[in-house]
Structure 1
Amino acid sequence: MATASKRLKVDDSSGLAPLQNFLSWCDRVGLTLSSKVYVSKQGTVAEYGMLAKADIEEGEVLFTIPRSALLHHGTSKVSALLDQNKACLENSSGWVPLLLALLYEYRSPQSHWAPYLSLWTDFSTVDQPMFWPKEERDRLLRGTGVPEAVDKDLANIQKEYTDVVLPFIRRHPDLWNPDTHTLELYTRLVAFVMAYSFQEPLEEDDDEEEEEEEERAPNPPMMVPMADMLNHVSNHNANLEYTPDRLKMVCVRPIRKGEEVFNTFGQMANWQLLHMYGFTEPYPTNTNDTADIPTARLYEVVTQGVQSDWDQQLLEDKWKTLCEMMGETRAFIFSRQGCLTETELHTTLRVLCMSKEEFCDFRENEGWEEEEDDDDDDKISQAFSSDGLPGLKAPWRRLIHQVARLTLESYGEGKREGRLIDGDQALIEDKASLAQLNSRQQRALQVRYGQKSILYKLMERTTSI
Structure 2
Amino acid sequence: MASDLLVDWCTAHNGTFDRSALTFAQTNSLGRGAFALRDLQQGHTLFTLPRHLTLSTRTSSLPSLVGGVDWKKHGLHMGWAGLILCLMWEAAQGTSSKWSTYLASLPIAFDTPMFWSSEDLAQLRGTTVLDKIGKDQAENDYFNKVVPLLKSRADLFGEEHPNPHYSLEVYHIMGSRILSRSFQVEALSTIDSVDSSQTPADEDAEMSLDDPSPHALNDSGSDEAEDYDDSDDEDNPANVAMVPLADMLNARYGYNNAKLFYEEHHLRMATTRSIRQGEQIWNTYGDPPNSDLLRRYGHVDQVPLSDGGLGNPADIVEIRADLVMATAEQRLPQQSGSWSSERVNWWLEEGGDDVFVVDFSNELPEEMTSFVRLLMMSAPEWAKTKPKSKLPKPKVDDVVLSVVADVVRRRLSDYPTTIEDDEALLGSEKEKPISLNLKNAVVVRLGEKRILHGLLRASGGGSKKRKADLTGADGGRAGKR
The two structures have a TM-score, normalised by structure 1, of 0.81
CA drift at 1:406: 0.9
Q: 1:401 to 1:83 in 2, by over 3 A?
A: farther
Gaps of 5+ in 1: 1-15, 206-213, 384-391, 415-420
Contact 1:200 1:242 in 2 (8 A): no
Q: Which residue of 1 aligns with 2:82?
A: 97
Question: Which of 30, 49, 60 is equivalent to 1:46?
Answer: 30
Q: Which residue of 1 aligns with 2:250?
A: 231
Contact 2:23 2:36 in 1 (8 A): no
Question: Which of 416, 425, 428 is equivalent to 1:427?
Answer: 425
Q: Distance in 2 between matches of 1:337 and 1:221?
A: 33
Q: Which residue of 1 aligns with 2:435?
A: 438
Q: 1:135 to 1:91 in 2, by over 3 A?
A: farther
CA drift at 1:266: 1.8
Tell me the secondary structure at the aligned position of residue 231 of structure 1: coil
Q: Distance in 2 between matches of 1:44 and 1:192?
A: 21
Give, as a single letter, the amino acid of the residue that structure 2 aligns with 1:187.
H
Q: Which residue of 2 aligns with 1:146?
A: 129
Q: Distance in 2 between matches of 1:77 and 1:324?
A: 44
Contact 2:7 2:17 in 1 (8 A): no
Tell me the secondary structure at the aligned position of residue 59 of structure 2: coil
Q: Which residue of 2 aligns with 1:304?
A: 330
Q: 1:395 to 1:54 in 2, by over 3 A?
A: same
Q: Distance in 1 between matches of 2:5 and 2:399?
A: 64
Q: Which residue of 2 aligns with 1:347?
A: 370
Question: Which of 136, 160, 182 is equivalent to 1:197?
Answer: 182
Contact 2:45 2:269 in 1 (8 A): yes
Q: Which residue of 1 aligns with 2:321?
A: 295
CA drift at 1:89: 4.2
Q: What is the RMSD of the two structures over their aligned residues, measured on CA atoms?
A: 2.5
Q: Distance in 2 between matches of 1:202 and 1:291?
A: 32
CA drift at 1:330: 3.2
CA deviation map 1:355-395 (0-9, x unaligned): 22111101133336xx9xxx5xxxx6xx8xxxxxxxx3111
Question: Which of 48, 53, 63 is equivalent to 1:64?
Answer: 48
Q: How does 1:328-367 map to 2 (within 5 A)?
A: 329-338=353-362, 342-367=365-390
Q: 1:276 to 1:399 in 2, by over 3 A?
A: same
Contact 1:82 1:97 in 2 (8 A): no
Q: 1:442 to 1:40 in 2, by over 3 A?
A: same
Greater CA drift, 453-462 or 352-361: 352-361
Give, as a single letter, the amino acid of the residue that structure 2 aligns with 1:321.
W
The alignment status of 1:453 with 2:450, answered yes or no, reads yes
Q: How does 1:68-217 map to 2 (within 5 A)?
A: 68-84=52-68, 85-90=70-75, 93-110=78-95, 111-120=97-106, 123-124=108-109, 126-137=110-121, 139-150=122-133, 153-177=134-158, 178-180=162-164, 181-203=166-188, 216-217=233-234
CA drift at 1:349: 2.2
Give, as a single letter, the amino acid of the residue that structure 2 aligns with 1:266.
G
Q: 1:354 to 1:31 in 2, by over 3 A?
A: same
Q: 1:39 to 1:79 in 2, by over 3 A?
A: farther
Q: Distance in 2 between matches of 1:187 and 1:33?
A: 31
The alignment status of 1:314 with 2:339, answered yes or no, reads yes
Q: Distance in 1 between matches of 2:234 and 2:31?
A: 33
Contact 2:71 2:77 in 1 (8 A): no
Q: 1:280 to 1:82 in 2, by over 3 A?
A: farther
Give, as a single letter, the amino acid of the residue that structure 2 aligns with 1:146.
V
Give, as a single letter, the amino acid of the residue that structure 2 aligns with 1:325.
E
Q: Which residue of 2 aligns with 1:20?
A: 4
Contact 2:311 2:443 in 1 (8 A): no
Q: 1:365 to 1:78 in 2, by over 3 A?
A: closer
Question: Kindly, what percent of the aligned residue pairs are identical?
Answer: 27
Q: Which residue of 2 aligns with 1:5?
A: none
Q: Which residue of 2 aligns with 1:7?
A: none
Give, as a single letter, the amino acid of the residue that structure 1 aligns with 2:94.
P
Give, as a single letter, the amino acid of the residue that structure 2 aligns with 1:302.
A
Tell me the secondary structure at the aligned position of residue 63 of structure 1: strand
CA drift at 1:95: 1.9
Q: Distance in 2 between matches of 1:195 and 1:397?
A: 40
Q: 1:437 to 1:117 in 2, by over 3 A?
A: same
Greater CA drift, 169-178 or 455-464: 169-178
Q: 1:93 to 1:436 in 2, by over 3 A?
A: farther
The two structures have a TM-score, normalised by structure 2, of 0.78
CA deviation map 1:200-224 (0-9, x unaligned): 244379xxxxxxxx99343431110
CA drift at 1:296: 1.4
Q: Which residue of 2 aligns with 1:209?
A: none
Q: Distance in 2 between matches of 1:39 and 1:108?
A: 29
Q: Which residue of 1 aligns with 2:264?
A: 244
Q: Distance in 2 between matches of 1:307 and 1:349?
A: 16
Q: Distance in 2 between matches of 1:45 and 1:302?
A: 45
Contact 1:238 1:249 in 2 (8 A): yes
Contact 1:238 1:261 in 2 (8 A): yes
CA drift at 1:69: 1.2
**Runs of 4+ in structure 1 over 6 Å off:** none
Q: Which residue of 1 aligns with 2:350?
A: 325
Give, as a single letter, the amino acid of the residue that structure 1 aligns with 2:143.
T
Contact 2:50 2:265 in 1 (8 A): yes
